[in-house]
Amino acid sequence: MNPTRTDYVGQIGPWLARYDTLTATHAHRLSEFEGDETREGYGDTRFSNSLEAEGFLAQLATHLRTLVGEPPPGTAHTLSFAGVNRHDGEGEFYFVANGTDLRDAARTLLTLPGFHYWISEQATYLPDDERDDSAPVDVLYLPDKSHPGVTGFPHDDLRSEEAAPVFAPGNVPALPLSILG
């Protein structure tokens, strides 16, 4: 939906490959001691491996924070909405935001730029002669399909917007709570 979305798979994939190489290297170093963990050098090798692994983990945590920011407060909730194309049989859209409960996550969602982008997209689906910029966008909140947690269906995870340093609730005007029904 959002054209500026980060390619997390492309960003995290190389780190997983580095991890695999690191664990294989550690296993290889320790393989000479297999069956004789009391031999001189075993403890030093394990200690060196653990220091190297700790350094890798610190670098990974820094990289992930750069990608998604600090974890936002609360827990993940999935919120479902039906857009204007529901009249043509299109399914619902799922968004993930954090909050202390579903209502709190919904309030947060209403302030996020990615959700505003989706809302603005909904207006473009109407023919020009049917558009009324003063009318509310034809979007329905689906509370029966919204829930705590994240499930496997396609969703737009906006938690990184919550955590991003540029995000501040005042930067984007909140949509009216009436959109939540």
Q: What is the pLDDT of residues 18-27, one digit of tens each?
A: 999 999 999 9
Contact yes or no for 181/175 (Cβ under 8 A): no
> What is the rounded average pLDDT of the residues 90-104?
92
- How many percent of the chain have pLDDT more than 90? 43
Say what the pLDDT of residue 71 is.
74
Token output for 14: 């190389």
Predicted confidence (pLDDT) at residue 128 exceeds the cutoff of 80:
no
107, containing H or E segment: helix 102-109
Residue 143's closest CA among 85, 99, 103, 84? Answer: 103
Q: What is the pLDDT of residues 99-117, one digit of tens each?
A: 999 999 999 999 898 898 8
- How many percent of the chain have pLDDT more than 70? 80
Predicted confidence (pLDDT) at residue 126 exceeds the cutoff of 70:
no
Q: How many CB atoms lie within 10 A of CB 146?
A: 20
Contact yes or no for 136/119 (Cβ under 8 A): no
Q: Which residues have a Cβ under 8 Å from the Cβ of 98 and sit 6 or more positions away?
A: 72, 73, 74, 75, 76, 77, 105, 108, 159, 162
Q: Please give the mean pLDDT across all residues of the chain.
A: 83
110, containing H or E segment: none
Contact yes or no for 180/106 (Cβ under 8 A): yes
Q: What is the pLDDT of residues 42-85, one digit of tens each?
A: 999 999 999 999 999 999 999 988 887 777 788 999 999 999 88
In whole angstroms, give the CA distance from residue 97 to residue 71.
11
**Could you tell me which residues are beta bridge partners of residue 95?**
79, 156
